[in-house]
Amino acid sequence: MPLHEGNVVAPWPGAEIAQDVRGEHGVGIGAGAVHRRILPFETMTSGLSLANKVLFLFGIASLVIVTGTLALPWIRSEQLVFQSQLEVSRQLADTWLESPSRSSATGLLPIRLVPRAEIDPAELPFASDAARRFEASDDLEEVFQEVESGNEIIYRYARGLRGPAWRRAAIIAEVDPGPLGSAETLGGLLLIERPSRLAAGQLLSTRIYLVAVGIVAVALSTLFFWFILNRVILKPVRRLRDTAERVEQGDFTVRADIRTGDDFEQLAEAFNRMLDETSLTASRLRSMNESLDFKVTELSEANIGLFESNRLKSEFLANVSHELKTPLNSIIGFAELLEELASQEVTPDPKRRRYLSNIITSARRLLEMISELLEMAKIEAGRVELSIDPVDVGELMEGLVTIMRPQAEAKRITIEHTVAGAVPRLETDAGKLQQILFNFLSNAVKFSPEDSVVILAAEGFVRGDGFSGVRFRVTDHGPGIPNDLQETIFEKFRQADASHTRSFGGTGLGLAICRELAELLGAKVALSSDVGSGSTFSVEVPLTYREQELQSLLD
């Protein structure tokens, strides 16, 4: 007979099986199952040794395999119990229909014949659900359900009786058959509800047996694997570890002695070869260290001598430069006085005036060189003092142009100055900044050809990192500086033309002093130049000076 059981596979072809309900309210297994969150493997096995990690993984793998293997007999045993109880209920129903009075008289089972009209969903929910299924499908003849209740299982069976079969059963059971319907009309249900402790015991014993078999299988397999793991794998690994620990403690004479005839023996041989090479390398390193210690001692003594020589050189330059400036200023003063007296004569001697002019020019150039040497010596000695005050950019630029105009007019060079937009006031050392820009302008006038233009420009800027300040640029139309010299032009005693026949004099300290002074102000100098197209020297000055510790370059 066809049987309806929801999504459970029918026990024979063409049949339908009633839904297998576990628990009073029907707890299903399928899409509604709860998924447990699995922790990462690294977290679960942290702190475990290699042996325990491997054993842990093997235990999990054995548990999964045994569980999967025993799942089929577990499910099959439950299906067999379910089908056997269904067959018992079916035979009881057939027996009752053949002789309802004799079957009911036994009083052993609650068998009822209920007309369709008397089925109340509140009192008989199983019968009401079965009736709806019978009415929905004319081919469905019986519905079977099992419900676990404590230590027993209650089996409920319903057979739908239609047309003549219903009338025949109703007349035999002395039940009102109701109005006569068609042959397919559901007249009533034959209900059987019986508890079975035997079935519950069978299921429990089967489950206990399967669980016990699984536990024993997992335990034996894990124990066997643990024995193999320790004897075959971990024993040589531990011996290698002990050897490595002794090497770590400084014993380079120890060697790994493993005779397994497999990969572990090859690994031990490779480890021993590595120790041989390490010992040889360590011996070489000791010899090299001894030689290096000797060299370091020599270099330390040489560095001390160089430091002392550099200190004496700086002090000598500072003292000598200062001592030279005093008589040199006197020479320049007396030469200018003689030049003035010569110019006041009735018939001035041109030759004498030319000689005096050469003396004054050479003395001033010498004074400029001595001043540069003195300034660099002060910077190296860390004795430069800063005077931070608000600085008006426009006034600073006008003052520089005024100072440089006579020197520029001597070569018919025009100096233009521009300020882009509203440039804020700076908080810096005006004298040091003016010295930097003066050097840039002096070089621009010196190297620019006659009848050219030198541009002094200023503009505010804000970089991507939030740094804000004022950028000063001095652009000339001189010969330009090659790319290979642009990195070294700010070094001491460096000049773009360093040949013996260079056209322009100087010590080569001007740009080096500019860079050192810019670093003291927290500024940055830069150069952009192409050969034959002139050069642009720039300095970026922050709006606000940030005090920093001044360190001697000798440290």
State the SS3 of 376-425.
Answer: HHHHHCCCCCCCCEEECHHHHHHHHHHHHHHHHHCCCCEEEEEEECCCCC
Helix (H) or strand (E) segment spanning residue 193? strand 186-196
**Exposed/middle/buried for residue 475 (C-beta within 10 Å: 0-12, 13-18, 19+):** buried
Q: What span, in angstroms and rounded, lies between the C-alpha atoms of 186 and 233?
A: 73
Which of 351, 383, 415 corresponds to the end of one domain?
A: 383
Q: Residues 292, 397: one domain? A: no
**pLDDT tens across the length of the chain (555 residues):** 444 443 333 333 333 333 343 333 333 333 333 444 545 555 655 667 767 777 788 878 888 888 888 888 888 888 888 888 888 888 888 888 877 655 554 455 578 888 888 888 888 899 889 889 988 888 888 999 888 877 778 888 998 888 888 888 887 777 777 776 677 788 888 898 888 777 777 778 888 888 888 888 888 888 888 888 777 777 788 888 888 888 888 787 888 787 877 777 788 888 888 888 888 888 889 899 989 988 998 898 888 888 777 777 667 766 666 677 677 777 878 777 887 777 777 677 777 777 777 788 777 777 777 776 666 666 766 667 788 889 999 999 999 999 889 889 888 999 999 988 888 889 998 888 988 999 999 889 988 898 899 999 999 888 877 788 999 999 998 888 888 787 778 877 655 554 433 445 455 677 888 888 888 888 999 988 888 888 999 999 999 888 765 454 444
User: Is 225 within a domain?
Assistant: no
Determine how many CB atoms are found less than 10 A away from the CB of residue 514: 23
**Exposed/middle/buried for residue 35 (C-beta within 10 Å: 0-12, 13-18, 19+):** exposed
Q: Residues 378, 462: one domain? A: no
Structure token pair of residue 477: 């139309």
**Per-residue DSSP letter, 229:** I
Helix (H) or strand (E) segment spanning residue 111? strand 111-115
Residues with Cβ within 8 Å of 135's Cβ and at least 6 positions away in sequence, in order, are 186
Q: Residues 416, 322: one domain? A: no
HSE, side-chain direction, 13 A CA sphere, residue 86: 25
Q: Residues 505, 438: one domain? A: yes
Backbone angles phi, psi at 352, to 5 degrees: -65, -40
User: Is 227 within a domain?
Assistant: no
When divided into structural domains, the chain yields a total of 3
Q: Residues 127, 66: one domain? A: yes
Q: Residues 395, 518: one domain? A: yes
Return the CATH number at 408.
3.30.565.10
Determine how many CB atoms are found less than 10 A away from the CB of residue 126: 20
Q: Residues 464, 408: one domain? A: yes
490-507 burial: b if 16+ Cβ within 10 Å, else e = beeeebbeeeeeeeeebb
Strand partners, 539: 472, 525
Determine how many CB atoms are found less than 10 A away from the CB of residue 87: 12
Which of 383, 416, 446 corresponds to the end of one domain?
A: 383
Q: What span, in angstroms and rounded, lies between the C-alpha atoms of 360 and 367?
A: 10
Q: Residues 77, 131: one domain? A: yes
Q: Residues 511, 417: one domain? A: yes
User: Is 231 within a domain?
Assistant: no
Q: Residues 378, 418: one domain? A: no
Q: Which residue has the tokens 């810096």?
A: 428
User: Is 345 within a domain?
Assistant: yes
Q: Residues 291, 325: one domain? A: yes
Residue 183, helix vs strand vs coil: coil
Distance of alpha carbon 456 from the chain centroid: 47
Contact 414, 408 (CB under 8 A): yes
Q: Considering all CA atoms of the chain, what is the largest pairwise distance in Å, rounded to the nearest integer?
A: 170
Contact 158, 142 (CB under 8 A): yes
Q: Residues 12, 109: one domain? A: yes
User: Is 332 within a domain?
Assistant: yes
pTM higher than the cut 0.95: no
Helices (H), 181-262: 197-228, 235-248
Q: Which residue has the tokens 């300020």?
A: 419
User: Is 220 within a domain?
Assistant: no
Determine how many CB atoms are found less than 10 A away from the CB of residue 65: 14
Which of 359, 383, 407 corresponds to the end of one domain?
A: 383
Boundaries of domain holding 171: 3-28+36-205
Q: What span, in angstroms and rounded, lies between the C-alpha atoms of 98 and 91?
A: 11
